[in-house]
Amino acid sequence: MNRVRKPAVAGVFYPAEPKKLQDEIDILLSLSRSEAKPNNLFGIVSPHAGYIYSGKTAAYGFNLLRNSEYKNVIIISPSHREYFAGISIYDGDAFETPLGIVPINNQLVEKLISGSEYIFKGASGQKQEHAIEVQIPFLQTVLKDFSIVPIVMGDQGRSFVDELASKISEVIDDDTIIVASSDLSHYHTKFDANRFDSIVEKRILDIDFDRLQYDLENRNCEACGGGPIVAMMKAAFLRKRRKSIILNRSDSGDISGDNNEVVGYLSAALYGD
């Protein structure tokens, strides 16, 4: 492989030593088993903070992927460090974590960028972005022999969201699953965070992607990966996967004990009959 994206946040967001990382993921998965067994899974919403804060909530979603045969994972991330007018798919060959190397499915990438005005191959938003990277060790634990499509949204405006949803709905198949990487509200009191995050939860439960986009635009709620969530919801709707379930919701105060400025986390799944 010629171009491998090296870990940027190992040792910061999750352990850099492979055994410590694997042990932590195994513990998180063992603590986060859900009774829910949705059929025809389309995708999950997964938080992307440090594992100590959001790992348990994230594990609820990844537990749904255990014993599955998915060969491709489309990971949709916001861009935390860089603004750009478009949607970037990493133009390399693979991502590396302490648990190994995961190839990029460049055939699927070409399908997504073909004919698109906004989606392109490049390094924009990719080099230091953590929101894709933190999902991969979980995927390496619950899946075998899979590839990824690492997507970073530099702009989460409605036209970009709609374009991504449309393209995903065209290319997705039964071998492919989506991970929409997002935290929720940032640095409010626990009371206010619950008020904001309850809105996101309700919109997901109602599969109301238009209203969620409106609420995000008008700051009725917050989600740094709101665009990825809305794009996945709309793509699921287009493919007639119109059911959802909230698996877990939490915030950083549950771990830190500081309820004055918390970050919200949510794990959810979209599926269909």
| 98-144 pLDDT per residue, tens | 999 999 999 999 999 999 999 999 999 999 999 999 999 999 999 99
pLDDT for the residue numbered 37: 85
CATH superfamily of 4-271: LigB-like (3.40.830.10)
Rounded Cα–Cα distance for residues 5 and 195 (Å): 38
| Average pLDDT, integer, range 20-24 | 98
pLDDT for the residue numbered 2: 84
Check pLDDT > 70 for residue 73: yes
| 204-261 pLDDT per residue, tens | 999 999 999 999 999 999 999 999 999 999 999 999 999 999 999 999 999 999 999 9
Statement: the pTM of the whole predicted model exceeds 0.95: yes
pLDDT for the residue numbered 32: 96
- Using only the alpha carbons of the chain, give its radius of gyration: 17
Q: What mean pLDDT value characterizes the chain? A: 97
In sign, the C-alpha dihedral spanning 190, 193, 197, 198 is positive
Check pLDDT > 90 for residue 163: yes
pLDDT for the residue numbered 33: 87
Check pLDDT > 80 for residue 57: yes
Check pLDDT > 90 for residue 67: no
Distances (CA, A) of 183 to 9, 16, 225: 17, 22, 7
Check pLDDT > 70 for residue 186: yes
pLDDT for the residue numbered 1: 63
Between 36 and 247, the higher pLDDT residue:
247
